[in-house]
Chain A
Amino acid sequence: MSDITKQSLSELIKNIKDKKLSSTEVTKAFVERSEKSKELNAYVTEDFSAAINKAKIFDEKPNLDLKLPGIPMAVKDLFCTKNIKTTAGSKILNNFIPTYESTVTQNIWNEGAILLGKLNCDEFAMGSSNETSFFGNVQNPIDKDLVPGGSSGGSSSAVAAQLTPITIGTDTGGSIRQPASFTGTVGLKPTYGSCSRYGIVAFASSLDQAGPMAQNVKDCALLHEIISSYDEKDSTSIDFKRNNYSKELTNNIKGKKIGIPKEYRVDGMPKEIEDLWKKGIDYVKDCGAEIIDISLPHTNYALPTYYIVAPAEASSNLARYDGVKYGFRADGENLIDMYEKTRSEGFGAEVQRRIMIGTYVLSSGYYDAYYLKAQKVRKLIKNDFDEAYKKVDAILTPSTPSSAFKIGEKTNDPVSMYLNDIFTVPVNLAGLPGISIPAGHDAKGYPLGLQIIGKAFDEQNILNIAYAMEEKINFKNKITDWWIK
């Protein structure tokens, strides 16, 4: 089989289970393609020879009852992997080797998957273009010098370029769905509390969630089923009955009520996005779903709320990086000087900016005006969704207000960069699940995504809607392998 890397995860699993392919063959194929794709800069750490060894060991006594039998997989470098360097895209963690494994990655290895390496991301997942990574920009396989989105930019690039059959990212304000949209792939941000945060380098703890990034909805459902678990090591992990998401996947969405929020028709949105949204509405109608106009009146306040809540939590979470117990240390004349120089040299500009915003909004005299205010508006945003879900089963919106942009295009204007997440941030603030699926191309041939937002814990429903739409859309990613010489 020559085109191993072109196969979907489900096809690879079937071929391994049918003994048509060995784990070693599959792993070698993805390693070879990854080796040829260094120009994408998707990897921070490669673990290729160990991966091939693990595959050989798997093949000696293959356990084919596992859900991911001998499947190689690269993961975002925000997940702690035991004995393997975990950087979070930051200089300050450049040499950090965790002594423990994140629950989400442990769940994946327990099902037989094999680590290929760690994927690039924005520093501490703070960014929408992967340009804040200490390890450099990631190329979008769609076109040269195009950002892959962020913060899970290495993940989206690697899945779209087929350097890994599937992967995981994390999503605090859109960091799975926006890069999925920019690369023509599928990305699911689960309900807050569905996937354990244990062992994930923390950014904003009330918003962070891990989730799958895949080439199609079925693969995405399978990986979600594996990573979603109750975990006593995460105090916000929620103990609810989880579905067999891939087994229960159906394209029958007849009679489902889909809400269209008028507030998502934002000023200056390109006509292409508006048209794509209309097409999406037609697709779900074709599937027998009912369209209902809804209102989410506080949508416009979501980004300002997010840019208080997320930096506030980040400034607190990132206080631990002090150059003492792990990571980078700069020399200083005394302890305080050492802290200040370590953090000034160890963090990049965007992370410093957010720590400063967060420190300011939490500081004495400003807490009520900013942080408390934002928490109250967050309540209003959640109330909007609660109200809408009395009438509808899910909500359909565009994933992003534009297609992928060029590297360097938005780096000098933080606010214009933040506006990228306008359709994804409200979902995190309300703790809901959301999935982005590729739905078309713009005039430049760049992919565009649509987002389906669900009720809390209703991942099955949005996966089903995505599955039904995927069939109608029949999206084909246009990737030319331009980076392979």
Chain B
Amino acid sequence: MSINLKTIKHISKLSRISVDEKKAEKLAGDLNSIFEFIEKLNELKTENIEPLTSVAETTLKLRSDEVKSKNLREQIIKNSPQENEDYFVVPKVIE
């Protein structure tokens, strides 16, 4: 299997990471060597094996739906790169 530049561009779009030509070529090289290494798993037959999704064999506990933290709005908004009073600000999305 080989990951070409077109695939890299596709993954970068899905990942929301912009990639120029030079970076895409480097990534294609790296990912191909990593996937070559990963392909080793194909040696194993796994049709009848249950996938392991979590090693923690617990059932999720229920709790009452209560607000426990104090009002942190101001502090939380402060961490935002751009703010306007009570709102997070992003580039305009509606024309």
Pair A353/B40 contact, Cβ less than 8 Å: no
- Mask: chain B, 18-42; 1 = CB below 8 Å from A; 0 = not: 1100000001001101100111111
Q: Which A residue sits closest to B93, measured CB to CB?
A: A335
- Min CB distance B4 to A, Å, is 12
Residue picked from B12, B75, B91, B92, most chain A C-beta under 10 Å: B91
- For the A-B complex, the count of residue pairs with Cβ-Cβ distances under 8 Å equals 162
With known contacts A329-B81, A334-B91, A334-B93, A376–B15 Cβ distance under 8 A: no
Number of interface residues of B (CB under 8 A): 51
- Min CB distance A311 to B, Å, is 9
Find residues 346-377 in chain A having any chain B CB closer than 8 Å to their own CB. Answer: 347, 352-353, 355-357, 359-360, 363, 370, 372-377
Pair A301/B40 contact, Cβ less than 8 Å: yes
Bound complex: CA A380 to CA B61 (Å): 28
Chain B neighbourhood of A378, CB < 8 A? 51-52
Which of B37, B60, B80 makes the CB contact (< 8 A) with A324?
B80
Bound complex: CA A329 to CA B93 (Å): 17
Bound complex: CA A417 to CA B93 (Å): 42
Bound complex: CA A336 to CA B91 (Å): 9
B44: interface (CB < 8 Å): yes
Pair B55/A431 contact, Cβ less than 8 Å: yes
B90: interface (CB < 8 Å): yes
B16: interface (CB < 8 Å): yes
Q: Which B residue sits closest to A339, measured CB to CB?
A: B16
Which of B3, B14, B53, B81 makes the CB contact (< 8 A) with A327?
B81
Pair B11/A328 contact, Cβ less than 8 Å: no
- How many of chain A's residues touch chain B, expressed as a range? 35 or more
Pair B46/A328 contact, Cβ less than 8 Å: no
Pair B31/A360 contact, Cβ less than 8 Å: yes
Which of A323, A327, A329, A382 makes the CB contact (< 8 A) with B55?
A382
With known contacts A339-B16, A353-B30, A359-B14, A236–B54 Cβ distance under 8 A: yes
Q: Mostly helix, strand, loop or mixed at chain A's interface?
A: helix
Which of A327, A372, A414 makes the CB contact (< 8 A) with B30?
A414
Chain B neighbourhood of A337, CB < 8 A? 18, 91
Residue picked from A192, A415, A430, most chain B C-beta under 10 Å: A415
Q: Which A residue sits closest to B55, measured CB to CB?
A: A431
Chain B neighbourhood of A235, CB < 8 A? 60-61
Bound complex: CA A456 to CA B55 (Å): 10
Chain B neighbourhood of A353, CB < 8 A? 27, 30-31, 34
With known contacts A238-B56, A303-B37, A340-B18, A333–B11 Cβ distance under 8 A: no
Chain B neighbourhood of A335, CB < 8 A? 90-91, 93
Which of A37-45, A92-100, A281-289 lies at the interface?
A92-100
Pair B31/A304 contact, Cβ less than 8 Å: no
Chain B neighbourhood of A301, CB < 8 A? 40-41, 43-44
- Min CB distance B18 to A, Å, is 4
Bound complex: CA A375 to CA B72 (Å): 39
Bound complex: CA A134 to CA B39 (Å): 31
Chain A neighbourhood of B14, CB < 8 A? 359, 363
Bound complex: CA A357 to CA B27 (Å): 10
A255: interface (CB < 8 Å): no
Which of A236, A343, A379 makes the CB contact (< 8 A) with B56?
A236
A-B contacts, 15 of them at CB < 8 A, read: A301-B43, A304-B38, A305-B41, A322-B16, A325-B76, A335-B93, A336-B16, A343-B16, A343-B18, A356-B12, A370-B38, A376-B46, A377-B41, A378-B51, A431-B56
Pair A356/B16 contact, Cβ less than 8 Å: no
Chain A neighbourhood of B79, CB < 8 A? 95-97, 99, 325-327
Pair B91/A380 contact, Cβ less than 8 Å: no
Chain A neighbourhood of B30, CB < 8 A? 353, 414
- Min CB distance B21 to A, Å, is 14
B67: interface (CB < 8 Å): no
